[in-house]
Amino acid sequence: MMKQGALYPVLRSLENSGLLASRVEPSVTGPPRRYYSITESGRETLAGWKELWKTTKTFVDETLKGNAHE
């Protein structure tokens, strides 16, 4: 499980990179809340990461299959 102290720096970094956008809204039960949403650039980057992950996963799966037959 990721701790909150580790999550927020990642969210800020993604926002600074233009992959996320945020907005702050008041809260009646406490401090203002920040809401994050993915940007178009974030969607494009995510699509690239997904393709890279698929390629990597296929490579690992094929490598493990090859080793399993030996």
**pLDDT band with cut points at 50, 70 and 90 for residue 3:** confident
Mean per-residue pLDDT, 1-22: 91
Domain 1-38: which topology? Arc Repressor Mutant, subunit A (1.10.10)
Q: Where are the beta strands (DSSP E) in 1-70?
A: 20-25, 33-38
Give per-residue pLDDT as tens, 15-46: 999 999 999 999 999 999 999 999 999 999 99
What is this structure's pTM?
Answer: 0.73
Percent of the chain whose predicted confidence (pLDDT) is above 90: 81
pLDDT in the model for residue 1: 72
Question: CB of 20 within 8 A of CB of 38?
Answer: yes
Domain extent listing, the chain? 1-38, 41-70
